């Protein structure tokens, strides 16, 4: 918003405006609209620039080259996005098969545990058989002995 250089009050409507395009020392071009504003309090007119835009002169060939590069980068980006999607899918498949492999490992471990338990059971059974065939340790036989006496 243009302000009066004397009293600092805002002046919204210009008396007249015209576009200005000027070259800066660094090669940039400044494009803006200059307006003549009138402060009713101070009764003075002052210029004020609005819509300042910094532009750069560039050869048409170079501009087209840049456009082509932007297009290429866009294509590369799309291809990369596709690849990322593919990798995500592959990752999901690998994770699934990893879970399966872990389950298979668990099943294998359980099989080993079961065979161990079976062995322990067999040992216990043979121990029971041995105890059954040792008369002195049999409750019934000791009872029998009591009756005999
Ligand atoms: Zn003023």
Q: What is the per-residue pLDDT for 142? A: 52
Q: Residue 111 C-alpha to ligand 1 middle, in angstroms? A: 96
- How big is the chain, counted in residues? 149
Do 37 and 48 form a contact (C-beta atoms < 8 A)? yes
Output the CA 99–ligand 1 centroid distance in Å. 78
Q: Could you tell me the end-to-end alpha-carbon distance of the chain, in angstroms, rounded to an integer? A: 127
Beta strands across the sheet bearing 44-56: 14-23, 28-39, 44-56
What spacing in Å lies between the alpha carbon of 1 and ligand 1's midpoint? 14
Residue with tokens 């872990």: 102
Residue pair 39/11 in contact by the 8 Å Cβ criterion: yes
Which pLDDT belongs to residue 68? 95
pLDDT given at position 120: 94
pLDDT for residue 75:
95
CB 53 within 8 A of CB 32: yes
Residue 146's pLDDT is: 54
Element (H, E) at 9: none
CA of residue 33 to ligand 1 center, whole Å:
21
**Could you tell me the distance, in angstroms and rounded to a whole number, from the CA of residue 51 to the centre of ligand 1?**
22
Half-sphere exposure of 128 (CA within 13 A, CB side): 6
Alpha-carbon distance of 121 to 133, in angstroms, equals 18
Going from the Cα of 46 to the center of ligand 1, the distance in angstroms, rounded, reads 9
pTM of the model: 0.39
Tokens standing for 88?
């995500």
Which mean pLDDT values do the consecutive 10-residue runs of the chain (149 residues) have?
A: 92 92 87 93 93 87 93 95 96 93 93 94 91 68 53
What are the residue ranges spanned by the domains of the chain? Answer: 14-57, 59-134
């Amino acid at each position: 918003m243009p302000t009066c250089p004397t009293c600092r009050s805002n002046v919204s409507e210009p008396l007249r405006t015209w576009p200005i395009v000027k070259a800066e020392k660094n090669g940039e071009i400044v494009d803006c609209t200059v307006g003549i504003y009138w402060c009713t309090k101070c009764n003075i007119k002052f210029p004020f620039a609005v819509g300042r835009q910094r532009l750069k002169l560039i050869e048409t060939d170079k501009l087209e080259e840049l456009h082509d590069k932007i297009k290429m980068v866009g294509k590369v980006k799309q291809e990369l996005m596709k690849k990322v999607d593919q990798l995500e899918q592959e990752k999901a498949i690998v994770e699934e098969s990893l879970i399966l492999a872990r389950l298979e490992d668990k099943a294998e471990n359980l099989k080993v545990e079961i065979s161990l338990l079976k062995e322990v059971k067999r040992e216990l059974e043979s121990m029971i058989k041995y105890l059954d065939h040792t008369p002195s340790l049999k409750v019934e036989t000791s009872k029998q002995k009591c009756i005999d006496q």
